[in-house]
Amino acid sequence: MNREWLDQFEAISRDAAGAVARWKEKSGGKAVGWMLTDVPEELILAAGALPVAVLAEGVTLGVADKHFQGFACSYSRSVLELLASRRLSYLDGIVVPYICDTTRALDLVVKHHRFLPFTECLRIPKSTLGAGALSYYRQELLRLAASLAGLTGTYPDQARLREAIQLLNRVRDRLERIRRLLRDRPGLLSASEYFAALRASLALPKEEALELLERFLAEAEKRVPVPAAGPVVILAGKVAEPPALLEVIESAGLQVKEDLLVLGGRYVTGGVDAKLDPLEALARRQLQQWPMVGVWDHRPRRADFLLERIAAVGARGVIFLIQKFCEPWEIDYPGMKEALDQAGIPSLRLETEYQMGSLEPLRTRVEAFAEMLA
C-alpha cells in the first residue's frame, strides 16, 4: 500500500467543499450533489453544473435524529445530518435516487425542510425487464433534465450530453483500469488505494479526476509487485465503509481481487454507449448494469453473477459488507448465502456503520475468517 497516494486520495474526498469552491470561482456555475447510487452524473454535467457525490464519511450524528428514525441506515442519516446542519451549503441542490424505501422517505424530508434550494428525486426503474423499462426511464431522465435546466438555465441537449458521456466514460475507463490492476497484477496496489481513488474521483470536477487517475495509473503500473499469497476474496454489498475496514481485511492477509460493491465495481464498469441517442444510452446503461438488490429480475441473477465472478478470479470466500438497518441488502443476504453454501463457498457477513467507533470486533472476525480460508 502506498501511503502517500492513499493520504492524497483521502484528503481530496474529505474536501469536496474545497473542490466545489475552486470550481465555482472559475466557472460561476452551480454544484449539484447526488446521493448514492445510480444518479447519471452526465445529466448534471450536461446541464452545466458540477456533479458531486455525497459520500458523507466521518459524520457524527446529532440533529439528523430529529428528522429521521434511528433505525434508518447510517448513510441516509449521515446525509441528513449534513443537510440539516447546513454543512452541504456549498451545494446548490441535491438529487436523491429512489433505490429503497429509506431514500424515498429521505427525499420527502429534505424537500419539506428545503435544506437546499433545489431537491430532486430520481425514480429509477424497479424492473430491468421489458421494453417498458427503457421508455419509462428515458421519460424519467427527460423530466430530470428539464428540472436541472430550471436550476442552471442550461438545458442538457444532445451535444452537451454527448460531451458529458465521453468525459464520464474516460473517467470510468481509468477507474476500471485501476480495478483490473488489482485483479490481474496481485501485489501491485491495495484495495484501499483503489477504493480511495474512486472516492476521490467522485469529489472532484471530472477533468481533474481524470488527470489524477492517470497520474496514479502511470505510477502504479511501474511498481514492483509485493508478493501476495493470502486467500483471495470478493467483496459484495453496497459500500466499503468505513474505509479503514479495507485495511482490516487486507492486513488479515486476505487478497481482495474483485469487488461487486455498488460504490465499486458496479459504478466503475460499463460505460455509456456514445453512439446511441444520449438519453437512450443512459437509460440502457442503467438497465444493463450489474444486478442490484431491489431491482426486479425474474432470474436468480445476483447469486449466479456472484458465483460466476468467484470462479473467474479463483476466490476462496466472499465478504458481505452490509450496513446496519439496510433493509434491501439484509433481505437479500440469506438467499445469497444459501447459494454460496450450496456451492461450498465460505462467506462472512460484516455489519457496518459509517460511525463505527472501533473496528476491533470486526478485525477479530475477519482474522478468524482468513485463518479458516488459509
Question: What would the grid cell of residue 27 be?
Answer: 466557472
Q: 233 pairs with which residues across the strands?
A: 256, 317
Binding part of the chain for ligand SF4, among 279-287, 305-313, 325-333, 343-351 by CB under 6 A, reads: 325-333
Question: Does residue 102 bind ligand SF4 (CB under 6 A)?
Answer: yes
Q: Rounded to an integer, what distance in angstroms lies between the CA atom of residue 141 and that of residue 277?
A: 13
Question: Does residue 99 bind ligand SF4 (CB under 6 A)?
Answer: yes
Minimum separation from the CB atom of position 46 to ligand SF4 (A) = 26
Minimum separation from the CB atom of position 326 to ligand SF4 (A) = 3
Q: Rounded to an integer, what distance in angstroms lies between the CA atom of residue 165 and that of residue 145?
A: 14
Binding part of the chain for ligand SF4, among 45-53, 137-145, 327-335, 348-356 by CB under 6 A, reads: 327-335
For the chain, report the end-to-end CA distance as a whole number of angstroms: 22
Minimum separation from the CB atom of position 185 to ligand SF4 (A) = 32
Question: Does residue 238 bind ligand SF4 (CB under 6 A)?
Answer: yes
Minimum separation from the CB atom of position 71 to ligand SF4 (A) = 10
Q: Rounded to an integer, what distance in angstroms lies between the CA atom of residue 51 and that of residue 30?
A: 9
Question: Does residue 265 bind ligand SF4 (CB under 6 A)?
Answer: no
Residue from 204, 306, 326, 340 touching ligand SF4 (CB under 6 A): that is 326
> What residue type is assigned to position 299 of the chain?
R
Of the pair 280, 327, the CB lying nearest ligand SF4 is at 327
Binding part of the chain for ligand SF4, among 47-55, 72-80, 87-95, 227-235 by CB under 6 A, reads: 72-80
Contact (Cβ atoms closer than 8 angstroms) between residue 233 and residue 318: yes
Question: Does residue 327 bind ligand SF4 (CB under 6 A)?
Answer: yes
Question: What would the grid cell of residue 113 be?
Answer: 425542510
Of the pair 13, 103, the CB lying nearest ligand SF4 is at 103
Minimum separation from the CB atom of position 294 to ligand SF4 (A) = 7
Question: Does residue 138 bind ligand SF4 (CB under 6 A)?
Answer: no
Per DSSP bridges, beta strands 347-352 and 317-323 are: parallel
Of the pair 23, 329, the CB lying nearest ligand SF4 is at 329
Q: What are the Cα distances from residue 328, in Å, to 104, 272, 290, 293, 354?
A: 13, 26, 16, 6, 17
Q: What are the Cα distances from residue 278, in Å, to 97, 291, 315, 340?
A: 20, 22, 37, 38
Question: Does residue 328 bind ligand SF4 (CB under 6 A)?
Answer: yes
Minimum separation from the CB atom of position 212 to ligand SF4 (A) = 27
Question: Does residue 75 bind ligand SF4 (CB under 6 A)?
Answer: yes
Nearest CA among 308, 332, 312, 309 for reference residue 320: 332
Q: Rounded to an integer, what distance in angstroms lies between the CA atom of residue 106 and that of residue 248?
A: 32
- Count of residues in contact with ligand SF4, rule CB under 6 A: 13
> What residue type is assigned to position 19 of the chain?
A
Residue from 13, 78, 128, 323 touching ligand SF4 (CB under 6 A): that is 323
Binding part of the chain for ligand SF4, among 68-76, 186-194, 207-215, 339-347 by CB under 6 A, reads: 68-76
Minimum separation from the CB atom of position 110 to ligand SF4 (A) = 13
Q: Which helix (H) or strand (E) holds 51?
A: strand 50-53
Q: Rounded to an integer, what distance in angstroms lies between the CA atom of residue 140 and that of residue 145?
A: 9
The Cβ-side half-sphere exposure at 275, using a 13 Å CA radius, reads: 0
Which residues lie near ligand SF4 (CB under 6 A)?
73, 75-76, 99-100, 102-103, 238, 323, 326-329
